[in-house]
Amino acid sequence: MRSAHRKEIIGKIVVYAVLIIIALAMITPFLWMFSAAIKSDREVFKMNPFVFIPKVPKWSNYVDIWTKIPFLKFVENTVFLTIVVTILQLLTSSFAAYAFAKLKFRYKNGLFLAYIATIAMPWQVYMVPQFILMRKMGLNDKLLAIICLQAFSAFGVFLMKQFYESVPDDLCEAARIDGMSEYKIYMKIMLPLSKPALATLIIFTFVNTWNDYLGPLIYLKTQEKKTIQLGLKMFISQYSSDYGLIMAGSMLSLIPVLIVFLCLQKYFVEGIANTGLKG
Amino acid sequence: MKKKVISLVLSAAMIASLLAGCGGAAVESAPATDVQEVAEAVQEEAPAPEPEAAAEEVTEEAAEPVTLKWAIWDESTTQYWGDIKAAYEAKNPNVTIEMVDLGSTDYMTVLATELSGSGSDFDVVTIKDVPGYATLVQKNAIIPLDDYISADGVDLSKYAGATDQVVVDGKLYELPFRNDFWVLFYNKDIFDAANVDYPTNDMTWAEYDELARKVTDTSFGSQIYGAHYHTWRSTVQLCSVLDGKHTILDGEYDFMRPYYEMVLNQEADGVCRKYTDLKTEGLHYSAAFSGGDVAMLNMGSWFIATMLTNLASGEYDPSLCGNWGIVKYPHAEGVEPGSTLGTITGLSVTSACDTPDAAWDFVKWVSGEEGAAVMASSGNFPAIMTDEVKTAITGLEGFPADDASKEALNVANLYLEVPYGENVSEINSILDSYHGSIMTGEMSIDDGLAAMSQEVSALLK
Amino acid sequence: MEKIKETQGSGQINILQDALKTTIEKVRDEKDEKTKRKLIRQIERYNNRIDMLRSGRRISRQTRKNLVAYSFIAPNFIGFCVFTLIPIVFAFALAFMNWDGSNPVSFEGFNNFKRLASDTFFKAALKNTIIYCVGTVPLTMIASLALAIVLNQKVIGRGIFRTIAFFPYVASLVAITSVWKMLFHPSKGPVNNILFTFFHIPQDALPQWFSGSLCVISMILFSVWKYMGYYMVIYLAGLQGISKELYEAASLDGAGTWNQFRYITWPQLSATTFFVVVMLTINCFKVYDVAVMLAGGGSGELTVSATVLVYYIYQKAFIDWDLGYSSAVAMVLFLMVLIVTIIQFRGQARKEA
């Protein structure tokens, strides 16, 4: 009995040790980023001794980044894009997913198959024709192009449909017998129930749109249209040795996504568990 | 059912319009040639004396306000774009120049995307490099200027042969307005501290290598690098074409070996920074030189203007790099000093332009004497190099005072970094890629050069 | 007038009902599956017509239902169709064409695919992509599963650990790769510094993390680090779906931790693992920005040892303007994804059967 107890304690210690090592590996780059953002170029790579916060922290890096490049413009663009895309994605895909999950109609299976097939299709396979098409529509170098690109993904429909299917059909049937229209059932019953799935979709869409690089690289050309990611990359290639500034810009670019994630994370595991994302 | 049919019809229509769009480009290029034909016809019919034609043009333009959309890069950090716009608009009050900044990082890629197919509204575009120029020519995105050149009697000889190297099938699609050539920048303080004589205007590569090794200090914490090579392939490969016997489009690259050997040996001995470090950091050459630990840097003459502006504004620390000078590029044994690489920046008129005459007038003005004066006033080298231009630049505040630096601006032979050739864009990609492989040590010099030669000659066939 | 219409209507209904009856009888006798299905559809149509006539509406209930459903789908489907489906169809066509984006298109047949065989850059890109994939998929899967199992137990600070593990996934690539490049800087970075000071590896032998063959390994390490949090969450969700009773029964039978994992956790998670592996593989084949940002340097050019398929697609399309050829490379990418997905599906189906 005692040995079993001992074994348990050793097991616990091992588990915690592993956890702490992994957590350190996960967090170190972020700590480094924070530390380097307030150092001067000479202090950045100083290792012996390594100081986390220098004696004279260079907070001015956080101010300078706004004037060295049009960072504010980049932030505006990215915020605008991310919010519009997230809202559109949520609305259209939960709307479509409701039909796929709870309504019977002609060509349902065929249409859904079209969605599923494109999930397995890497975007890069069709990015060229898509670009040509968008340019034909006059969307080249317009923020609208990125909205069109990101807002109608098959992934969102798939995720929401899986979730709605886990909601019992009886609920809808009962409402139908009460004379509720399908639109009302969607609004009054399904939408309030789908908070975890919506939260999951928000996180995915937000993270993807905020951090997208190749899409904006292809579509957004002029300076005033660029997003934070493009701006940061541009800044890095221009001011390669200004580590402090680069890190300050990177820190700033992380904050919004972290906030969104922290606000929604309590729904997150639940959302994934019920959306069939686990397979 | 209906919905399905509608969506089918819709998609069919989309595809049809897409395919039509592909063919559309051919149709669209037609008006451009029409305009030329008309212009030619006009010329033939009325070979009016030039002044009159010019006067006519002016009165015509005065009546109609014209807006020219012009593609440029890095407006905020480059002074001359604004200067040119202001000077031209002052002279032609009816013309408005609208600059669109496409950024310098992927400028030619972005421009090619903009000009592909229809839907572009640029009138004048700046051409940054020859591979990009070749792409635009192949896409019929820019128009040949020969008819305009002969009509207005532009004398191409003033560009000292630079335009000959970008002729495509007997036609010229751009006029250069900036012509940079490569020189050797050096930091006098480092040479003084090491008690070594400054580099001279007449150095062979061996002498240069020796000098670089002399000033190098590898002691930890106070490293001084005798030389610095930016990650571009030009900094190594192009040293080898300066003897005039080889070009970058040869398809056989064994002649580059001595230069790769020199640079890699220097790297191994700590004479220059490691390529892999530079690549990881993405270190910009300007940051390296202004940091005060690089003795010599081979770079284009555009860096002169950068040095002048940034030292004046306090961006660079004068105690680190304020005491600088330039000399001519080192040369191969038995070759006349002053042979160097050139990089031209040109202007073209797009085929989508509605007012090609007005656009041409702008191109002609910028690449002509008046444009040259504007360029020189900010320390940049115009395509037309005259003695006045040289005096203007050497007389600028902050330009190195020694005579050698002034003499360094006299170029004997100018070879373009990349002359025009078929497939020049693909060749450029291949050379870039294997340059990286050799410099990172992924491939030996032999293997890298062999692979380069093989790939390029396969392409040339 | 009204009456006449009504009688006309009821007359029609009678005719239809007769027809309906005969068809139903036909179905009963019919042996051929195909005609049978046809007849059933016919019956549906009759039913609809009768329904319409009875209720006096102009469109049948089913059509109305269809329209309501389509109105739900339309906002998303129209966007999806225009911006995804049509480009995909066009991408297939383009692979057999030669087009530079401006000049007229010409049909090339299989020439673009023939060119692939002798293209060293394409072969290098294909090889690197596969190596990257083979390295990343199992490592990420194992790491995320292990982490999920640990974090599914009652440990103190579980919430904090979960959040931290998800941080890298949320962080933007541009920002986080620049940190990695500092940490792994070949001559100044802390990682090599530690190797030098504590492990006494000579300066010349220090690993050059972002060039040569190490480059792909750095990419793999980075990807595992960045994406394991995401897959961990998926595994966590899967673990929470396993009934506790199974474990209780097993521990009563005296099964140890390993046996519990082997006979309960792993088989119960097979659907999740299937999903994770498919998603991971697809995402690995799609790798582009990791390569460009870690190995590309300032200008973003990749050498032969770091080039990947999507980079080559991008380069051929937007730098060389060889759109047809670029599409052909994209088709190879698509085929690879398709094959992996089919193999996975087969394996999954066999396991379930």
- Report in angstroms the alpha-carbon separations of C234 from A201, C34, C157, C274, C279: 14, 43, 20, 11, 11
Retrieve residue B131's tokens: 């591979």
* CA-based nearest residue to A92, from C79, B166, B365: C79
Residue C178 confidence class, pLDDT cut points 50, 70, 90: confident
For residue B22, tell me if it sits in a domain.
Answer: no
Look at B61 and B397; give whichever has higher pLDDT: B397
**Strands B294-300, C97-98: pairing kind:** unpaired
Cβ contact A162:A275 at 8 Å: yes
More confident call, A224 vs B142: B142
Nearest to B210 by CA among B253, B269, B170, B156: B269
Q: Which chain C residues have a beta carbon less than 8 Å from that of A18?
A: 150
- Rounded average pLDDT over A27-51: 83
Q: How far apart are CA C191 and CA C184, in angstroms?
A: 6
B411 shares its domain with B323:
yes
8 Å CB contact between B142 and B350: yes
The more confidently predicted of residues C38 and B258 is: B258
**Cβ–Cβ gap B117/A135 under 8 Å:** yes
Interface test with B, best of C107, C319, C325, C326 (most B CBs within 10 A): C319
Residue C57's pLDDT is 64
- Report yes or no: C347 at the A interface, CB cutoff 8 Å: no
Binning pLDDT at 50, 70 and 90, where does residue C263 land? confident
B108-159 pLDDT, tens digit per residue, is: 888 888 887 666 789 999 999 888 899 899 888 899 999 999 999 888 888 8
Strands (E), B44-174: 66-72, 95-101, 124-127, 167-168, 171-172
Residue C344 neighbours by CB distance under 10 Å: 16
Q: Indicate if B299 and B382 belong to the same structural domain.
A: no
pLDDT digits (tens, 9 = 90+) for C82-118: 888 899 988 889 899 888 877 888 898 888 999 898 8
As a whole number of Å, the end-to-end CA separation of chain B is 55
Residue A120 CB burial class (10 angstroms; 0-12, 13-18, ≥19): middle
> By CB neighbour count within 10 A (0-12 exposed, 13-18 middle, 19+ buried), where does A137 fall?
middle
Average pLDDT, chain A: 84
**Per-residue model confidence (pLDDT) at position C302:** 77
Q: What is the pLDDT of residues B262-315, one digit of tens each?
A: 999 999 998 999 888 888 877 888 888 988 889 999 999 889 988 988 888 888
Instruction: Identify the pLDDT of residue C58.
Output: 65
User: Among partner residues C70, C81, C297, which is closest to B11 by beta-carbon distance?
Assistant: C81
The mean pLDDT value of chain C amounts to 84
Q: Is residue B26 part of a domain?
A: no
Other CB atoms within 10 A of residue B246 CB = 16
| pLDDT at position B46 | 40
Quick one: B119 and B215 in the same domain?
no
Answer yes or no: is pLDDT of B52 > 70: no
B335 with B348, same domain: the answer is no
Within 10 Å of residue B413's Cβ, how many Cβ atoms? 18
The whole-number average pLDDT for the span C182-204 is: 83
C224's tokens: 């595992």
Provide the pLDDT for residue B221: 66
A256 CB-near residues (< 8 Å, 6+ apart): A79, A82, A210
Q: What is the mean pLDDT of residues C211-223?
A: 88
Q: Which residues of B touch A222 (CB under 8 A)?
A: 100-103
CATH (domain of B147)? 3.40.190.10
Residue B28 lies in a domain: no
CA angle A166–A169–A173, rounded 5-degree value: 155
Q: How confident is the model at residue C353 (pLDDT cuts 50, 70, 90)?
A: low
pLDDT confidence tier of residue C221, bands split at 50, 70 and 90: very high
At B185, is the secondary structure helix, strand, or coil? strand
Please compute the mean of the pLDDT values over residues B320-344 and round it to a whole number.
87
CA distance B50 to B48: 6
* B294-300 and B225-228 strand pairing: parallel
The fold of the A61-274 domain, in CATH, is MetI-like fold (1.10.3720)
The more confidently predicted of residues C205 and B436 is B436
Q: Tell me what pLDDT residue C102 has.
A: 78
Q: How confident is the model at residue B31 (pLDDT cuts 50, 70, 90)?
A: very low
- Residues in chain B, total: 461
| pLDDT, average across residues B433-450 | 90
Instruction: Give the predicted TM-score (pTM) of the model.
Output: 0.81
- Give the mean pLDDT of A145-158: 87
Residues B229 and B319 in one domain: yes
Chain B residues whose C-beta is within 8 A of a chain A C-beta are: 1, 4, 14, 17-18, 21, 100-103, 105-106, 110, 113-114, 116-117, 119, 281-284, 287, 291
Asked if residue B445 belongs to a domain, the reply is: yes
Q: Decide if the complex's ipTM is over 0.95.
A: no
Whether residue B261 lies inside any domain: the answer is: yes
CB spacing of C172 vs A211 below 8 angstroms: yes
Domain residue ranges of chain A, discontinuous segments joined by +: 2-58, 61-274
| Domain-located, residue B234 | yes
What is the identity of the amino acid at C4? I
Instruction: Please determine, for residue C6, whether its predicted confidence score (pLDDT) is greater than 70.
Output: no
**% of chain B residues with pLDDT over 90:** 32
Q: Is the pLDDT of residue B220 over 70?
A: no
Q: Give the integer Cα–Cα distance in Å for B90 and C30.
A: 90
Q: pLDDT digit string (tens) for B174-219? A: 999 998 889 999 999 999 999 999 999 999 999 999 999 999 988 7
Q: Of A101-105, A244-248, B58-62, give the lowest mean pLDDT range.
A: B58-62
Provide, as residue numbers in chain C, all residues whose Cβ is less than 8 Å from the Cβ of B440: 208, 211-212, 303, 305
Distance CA B394, CA C59 (A): 87
**Which structure tokens are listed for A15?**
């588990």
Q: pLDDT tier at C3 (50, 70, 90 boundaries)?
A: low
Q: Which pLDDT band holds residue A162 (cuts at 50, 70, 90)?
A: confident
B11–C103 C-beta distance less than 8 A:
no
B156 plus B52 within the same structural domain = yes
How many Cβ atoms are within 10 Å of B308's Cβ, its own excluded?
17
Closest alpha carbon to A132 in B282, C162, B19, C182: B19
Residues of chain A contacting B290 with CB distance shorter than 8 Å: none
Taking an 8 Å cut-off on Cβ atoms, the answer to whether B280 and C209 are in contact is yes
C144 touches chain A (CB under 8 A): no
Say whether pLDDT at C5 is over 80. no
B365 and B456, same domain (yes or no): no
Do B253 and B333 share a structural domain? yes
Bridge partners for A148 per DSSP: none
Tokens (6 digits) for A46: 């100083």
Query: Residue B266 is part of which domain span?
Result: 181-341+407-460
Q: Taking Cα atoms as reference points, which of A125, A79, A81, A83 lies closest to residue A216?
A: A81
* Angle, helices A143-151/A71-102, rounded to nearest 10 degrees: 30
Q: Is residue B172 domain-shared with residue B186, that is, in the same domain?
A: no
How far, in Å, CA of B294 to CA of A241, rounded?
15
- Give SS3 for A15: helix
Contact B279 C81 (CB under 8 A): no
pLDDT at B42: 38
SS3 of residue A57 by DSSP: coil
pLDDT value for B358: 92
User: Cα–Cα distance between B281 and B14 in angstroms, integer?
Assistant: 46
Say yes or no for a CB contact (<8 Å) between C105 and B455.
no
Residue B35 has pLDDT above 70, yes or no: no
The Cβ-side half-sphere exposure at A206, using a 13 Å CA radius, reads: 24
Q: Which amino acid is at C315?
A: Q
Instruction: Name subunits touching A (3+ CB pairs < 8 A).
Output: B, C
Tell me the average pLDDT of chain B: 82
- What is the percent of chain A where pLDDT is above 90? 11
Yes or no, beta carbons of C65 and A105 under 8 Å apart: yes
The DSSP H or E segment spanning B348 is: strand B339-349
CB contact under 8 A, C209 and B433: no
Instruction: Report whether pLDDT(A89) > 60.
Output: yes
pLDDT tens column, B223-243: 889 999 998 888 898 888 888
| Residue C150, pLDDT score | 86
Which pLDDT band holds residue A189 (cuts at 50, 70, 90)?
confident
Spatial distance between the Cα atoms of C314 and A124, rounded to a whole number of angstroms: 8
Residue B42 half-sphere exposure, CB side, CA atoms within 13 Å?
Answer: 13
B188/B172 same-domain check: no
Residues B401-427: what's their mean pLDDT?
A: 85
So what's the pLDDT on residue B4? Answer: 43
Are residues B451 and B376 part of one domain? no
* Of B124, B176, B46, residue with least CA distance to B350: B124
Per-residue CA distances from B373 to A208, B383, B458 (Å) = 50, 11, 45
Specify burial of residue B82 (Cβ count, 10 A radius: 0-12, 13-18, 19+): middle
Q: Are residues B309 and B186 in the same domain?
A: yes
Asked if B367 contacts B360 with a C-beta cutoff of 8 angstroms, the reply is no
User: Do A251 and C215 contact (CB within 8 A), yes or no?
Assistant: no
Q: Give the span between the Cα atoms of C211 and C296, in whole angstroms.
A: 10
* Residue B93 DSSP SS3: coil
- Distance, in angstroms, between A233 CA and closest chain C CA? 6
Structure confidence at residue B13 as a pLDDT band (50, 70, 90): very low
- Residue B13 belongs to some domain of the structure: no
Contacts 24+ apart (CB under 8 A), B48-51: B50/B152, B50/B153
SS (H, E, C) chain C: CHHHHHHHHHHHHHHHHHHHHHHHHHHHHCCCHHHHHHHHHHHHHHHHHHHHHHHCCCCCHHHHHHHHHHHHHHHHHHHHHHHHHHHHHHHHHHCCEECCCCCCCEECCCHHHHHHHCCHHHHHHHHHHHHHHHHHHHHHHHHHHHHHHHHCCCCCCHHHHHHHHHHHHHCCHHHHHHHHHHHCCCCCCHHHHHHHHHCCCCHHHCCCCCCCCHHHHHHHHHHHHHHHHHHHHHHHHHHHCCCHHHHHHHHHCCCCHHHHHHHHHHHHCHHHHHHHHHHHHHHHHCCCHHHHHHHCCCCCCCCCCCCCHHHHHHHHHHCCCCHHHHHHHHHHHHHHHHHHHHHHHHHHHHHHC
Mean pLDDT of C253-265: 83
